[in-house]
Structure 1
């Protein structure tokens, strides 16, 4: 039994499987396209929203402020991600197959670990895209209201849990109790504002059997639009992404250029108000802003020259984004005391509004909308290709691997990913998904660092267009960096992660293990 669980696939069989006509995708992507995809994925909601939380912290939740030393947090995360990026670059040049870390795990650690990573990658791509879609909805609503003067009703812009949130200091209440008070308040017998933090939303929301109907409509709309674009074709997606990347990078560089004129060096003192523990806490939060460079590897089968372009796209995008992030962090903490960023969902726009530059703040809000749109696009490209790779191996049904005859994209998996993002984005709170995404990604990064060492020992003769330098130093350092960042996450996140993996194992033993191509004999082990 154990031998079956740890059967691996050869590099040759993985490549042959991808080359089958029924599985082939269009090979349209260049190094430029891949670099743009990487930047598009990395620069998303994270830098526009989490940079304030990372700098100011939240001591009530056990998060120590990084303060101006956030720039150190960023550089440390970049170094840790850099180790992993080198591992991805070598593996992608060796195994130019869609599936990313899932495929690399199958080639080195066997079927069970491949399934675990494939299930885990749902956290990085589909689940993280829920957070990105929610952020997009928030930024788009703000932009429409403040710049376009178009008002979206509150009940069409908020998830049910947030809508029913209580006023701070109010004793906890069950859902039944909340609905009871809501009914009384709607009837005019109580002051709803004294009980519900978002009474203005609940007051106008339609009721379904006494329950207020609220949803994040804009998050659903953008998910549907992006999903259809991804279905149309990889080149169409690449062109749209490139335009959005140019816009958002230009806006962030403008933030730096304009903001440096208003920097007060006194705001950088004390530089690290809570020492290294603050820097570590900041790293754990800002890590979400670095997720995405690995998504480049999911497009391996659509590259013209994957051995050359994939490593360059991964490393170029990470390097460019690190430089931009560091400059933005210095400006943000230099323009305003870090303590004033606490609780600010749009810190970049806030600091310019604080300095009476409302027009610049409006442009930044537009940039946030563009940034989250591009990130949403790249993640929607990545997840279907992982589903497709798992389907080829029999771990998911053949329905997941169906390729559109006209567009040569994984059609069913693309539309399923859209559904998996749109529904939770309409109904969930962003805080419920961000940290789960972080720990899932850190786990995948650790596995990739282990996989590159295994293949260097097991298949030293295999062609490698890119070789990770000092592999037996940097790959373990990448694993240790992931562990260090993960230690900054709350205990409840670890518990949720274990539960998530347990659910995945149930599905594997109920379906995947029984239908694996290695089990059914449709492919030689």
Structure 2
């Protein structure tokens, strides 16, 4: 009863089969695969590859992508089994409700807020930086005060007034000439002949979220079509970099493929096989978002078949692209030179014949990040929609637009919250919180497969996770290991976030839970 109440698989399937007053089923396997690619390929392929190579693994970073991809594949296979059994928009929240009870489901649903809502705001800020830089190249300068939030985070925890270093003559953004990274201090900015301009509001990020929210309210098919176009653009650009890049690879840059271990000044180490292993949790975060495909379960035409295809296909395609891109980048330039804000551009600059690709890479980054924001903003309202239908959130979150058949009210609420976060608040503390919430959901889904196989082996499973219990154990083990790597401050913030969430559950959710009321009524009889 209450916190341990579980939802019946039969009841969930009946809910999925009923379309009355629900979401509109318009998405096929191709749309779902493109949604997965749209969520996965973003900042990871344009930033993390270079960071992981320079700071941890060298050219062996491609092996790190293999390891991280395997961990995601294990989790993805578990997601696919649940998605085919329970084609409901709630993703890991619903799967936990059916296997481990309402309390765990609420915990996971609350953590998914970190993955989707906060990730949307965080990526929108990254998009704003790329978009402003792209406009700079054509002589259009977004005023610095209106392209950054008023606050930022230094040293991982200190909130300070944000500033942008601006060229006093041209109005463009100044960065360190050697590293291409923004100046960290006002003094360094002044010494370089710049002017430190305080941030007021991140207007490009706000406008992006507003536009995508309006698109999502209008319809999931329209949103999927837009996403397909954006994904096609960034896929073409990534394939151009890979295809032309391989023509100019200097194989000397790959030797040694796994550099010898080096001890840093702080006593930590990098390179060697331990560096490859250490880089795996770093590049793992490039894959965050593939599970957003499962949030579109109630808008899929044939969810039992198409959801597993969408999740597994998008994971496999992106893993191959990540591996190829990391090989090209470390082949074009020495890996030590890739630890910059724009590593793909840094790799291309090492080969004058590839200079023409740099502007295309900026377009690809803008396209890639916008599709990530779109899919994140699509996923969160559907989690809230399902939680509201279960009684754990107010009814407004389950309100469906009468014409467009989308969770319009929930979409606007999520969009407005994301606008406030992206426009005004420091996001430095949120990145690893997003990762923590995502990893918790992944591990719970893997464990859930084991629980349900043991408790209800007779249930029909249109897609069956292979090699059980090995795959779920490997998936849970890999994600829990990566959670263990998170810093103490992140664990503290996750604890605070969980405490807030459980307070909301005990104050509102538990008393309004539909299944909780049913359990009480049956107990009273």
Structure 1 length-normalised TM? 0.88
Q: Deviations over 1:242-280 (max 9, x none)?
A: 111111111111111111122222222332332233223
Cα 1:507–1:197 shift into 2, 3 Å? farther
The answer to whether the Cα contact below 8 Å between 1:387 and 1:401 also exists between their aligned partners in 2 is yes
The answer to whether the Cα contact below 8 Å between 1:165 and 1:198 also exists between their aligned partners in 2 is no
Q: Deviations over 1:179-204 (max 9, x none)?
A: 9xxxxxxxxxxxx9984555699957
Which of the residues 16, 21, 30 maps onto 2:28?
A: 30
Which of the residues 347, 353, 362 maps onto 1:351?
A: 347
Say whether residues 1:226 and 2:222 are aligned partners: no
Say whether residues 1:137 and 2:128 are aligned partners: yes
The answer to whether the Cα contact below 8 Å between 1:280 and 1:485 also exists between their aligned partners in 2 is no
Whole-Å separation in 2 of the counterparts to 1:130 and 1:197: 29
Cross-structure match for 2:265 = none
Q: Which moved more, 1:125-134 or 1:87-96?
A: 125-134
Name the SS for the 1:365 alignment partner.
helix
- Cα distance, 1:216 vs structure 2: 1.7
Whole-Å separation in 1 of the counterparts to 2:195 and 2:218: 41
Whole-Å separation in 1 of the counterparts to 2:456 and 2:385: 26
Whole-Å separation in 2 of the counterparts to 1:116 and 1:243: 35
| Count of residues paired in the alignment | 489
Q: Deviations over 1:21-50 (max 9, x none)?
A: 554111111111111111111111221122
- Cα distance, 1:524 vs structure 2: 7.3
Q: Can you give the 5+ residue segments of structure 2 that lack an aligned partner in the other structure?
A: 164-182, 260-270
Which of the residues 307, 328, 332 maps onto 2:329?
A: 332
Which of the residues 468, 471, 475 maps onto 1:474?
A: 471
Q: Which moved more, 1:255-264 or 1:310-319?
A: 255-264
Cross-structure match for 1:446 = 443
Whole-Å separation in 2 of the counterparts to 1:490 and 1:466: 37
Whole-Å separation in 2 of the counterparts to 1:469 and 1:46: 28
Q: Deviations over 1:112-167 (max 9, x none)?
A: 00000000001111111122101110111111111x321111111222234x979x
Which of the residues 241, 245, 250 maps onto 2:227?
A: 241
Say whether residues 1:215 and 2:201 are aligned partners: yes
Within a 5 Å distance, the mapping from 1:116-127 to structure 2 comes to 116-127=107-118
Whole-Å separation in 1 of the counterparts to 2:465 and 2:158: 54
Cross-structure match for 2:82 = 91
Alpha-carbon RMSD across the aligned residues, in angstroms, is 2.6
Name the SS for the 1:432 alignment partner.
coil
Q: Deviations over 1:363-413 (max 9, x none)?
A: 000001111111111111111000000001111010111111110000111
The answer to whether the Cα contact below 8 Å between 1:18 and 1:24 also exists between their aligned partners in 2 is no
Name the SS for the 2:126 alignment partner.
helix
Whole-Å separation in 2 of the counterparts to 1:97 and 1:310: 11
Say whether residues 1:437 and 2:428 are aligned partners: no
Cα 1:368–1:175 shift into 2, 3 Å? closer
The answer to whether the Cα contact below 8 Å between 2:58 and 2:335 also exists between their aligned partners in 1 is yes
- Cα distance, 1:523 vs structure 2: 9.6
Cα 1:483–1:150 shift into 2, 3 Å? same
Cα 1:174–1:506 shift into 2, 3 Å? closer
Cross-structure match for 1:426 = 423
Structure 2 length-normalised TM? 0.88
Cα 1:480–1:524 shift into 2, 3 Å? farther
The answer to whether the Cα contact below 8 Å between 2:442 and 2:479 also exists between their aligned partners in 1 is yes
Whole-Å separation in 2 of the counterparts to 1:251 and 1:321: 14
Name the SS for the 1:66 alignment partner.
helix
Whole-Å separation in 2 of the counterparts to 1:56 and 1:406: 51
Cross-structure match for 1:150 = 140
Name the SS for the 2:461 alignment partner.
coil
Within a 5 Å distance, the mapping from 1:115-514 to structure 2 comes to 115-146=106-137, 148-162=138-152, 195-196=186-187, 205=197, 212-273=198-259, 274-342=271-339, 344-356=340-352, 357-514=354-511
Cross-structure match for 1:189 = none
Name the SS for the 2:401 alignment partner.
coil
Cα 1:399–1:329 shift into 2, 3 Å? same
Cα 1:204–1:482 shift into 2, 3 Å? closer
Whole-Å separation in 2 of the counterparts to 1:216 and 1:52: 26
Whole-Å separation in 2 of the counterparts to 1:461 and 1:20: 23
Cα 1:227–1:196 shift into 2, 3 Å? farther
